């Protein structure tokens, strides 16, 4: 689906009954408002789900910075990827890790991370994501452009529904990822039999 940023924005503007723009560089009020909220709104919706179209894997880079103190065993400090919106998993299932400021702290050397990155290319978005994102934008800009809190609230409610639809569709793509059984789960088994 080839959708441009201007087309996406114009759909949100149309939803609230505002005039469309020709370019994001237009000097009019609508373009200025969109430019103020677009990136924040996009980061917000990208952080809501492990979007398949915006997921990336990367090996993390170690940093030489030292921390004031370390948690037990967590002595590896990595630079958080600059385009990361939300981390979702690491290359080692047994790794202990956490996000702290601009760092990822772990007990595992050579850590890779799966994360949602800031993807600002609407031609890569799914149709359901575009629906949800335009509802979000309409909600975020309604008061500033057409002076209507009612419209803003309407699209905020619609966003809840369209986001649920988009995340549901996103979850149905590919083979379901199943976490491995942990020690707690395996504790009920002894020699392959369920404990009494």
157-187 pLDDT tens trace: 999 999 999 999 999 877 765 656 665 566 6
Both 12 and 104 in one domain: the answer is no
Residue 61 · residue 84 · CB < 8 Å: no
- Please report whether residue 183 resides in a domain: no
C-beta neighbour count of 23 within 10 angstroms: 9
Both 70 and 167 in one domain: the answer is no
Q: What is the pTM of this model?
A: 0.83
Residue 14 · residue 25 · CB < 8 Å: no
- Please report whether residue 81 resides in a domain: yes
Distance, in Å, from the CA atom of 50 to the CA atom of 116, rounded to the nearest integer, reads 6
- Please report whether residue 166 resides in a domain: yes
Q: What is the pLDDT of residues 55-79, one digit of tens each?
A: 999 999 999 878 888 888 888 999 9
- Please report whether residue 190 resides in a domain: no
């Amino acid at each position: 689906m080839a959708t441009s940023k201007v087309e996406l924005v114009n759909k949100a503007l149309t939803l609230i009954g505002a005039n469309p723009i020709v370019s994001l560089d237009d000097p009019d009020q609508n373009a200025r408002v969109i430019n103020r909220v677009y990136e924040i709104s996009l980061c917000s919706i990208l952080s809501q789900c492990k979007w398949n179209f915006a997921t990336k894997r990367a090996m993390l880079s170690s940093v030489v910075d030292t921390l004031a103190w370390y948690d037990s065993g967590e002595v590896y400090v990595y630079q958080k990827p600059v385009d990361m919106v939300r981390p979702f998993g690491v290359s080692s299932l047994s790794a202990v890790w956490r996000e702290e400021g601009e760092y990822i702290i772990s007990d595992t050397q050579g850590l890779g991370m799966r994360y949602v990155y800031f993807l600002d290319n609407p031609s890569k978005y799914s149709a359901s994501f575009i629906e949800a994102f335009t509802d979000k934008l309409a909600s975020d800009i309604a008061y500033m452009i057409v002076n209507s809190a009612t419209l803003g609230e309407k699209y905020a409610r619609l966003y809840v529904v369209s986001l649920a639809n988009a995340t549901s569709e996103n979850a149905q793509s590919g083979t379901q990822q199943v976490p491995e059984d942990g020690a707690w789960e395996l504790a009920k088994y002894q020699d392959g039999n369920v404990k009494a």
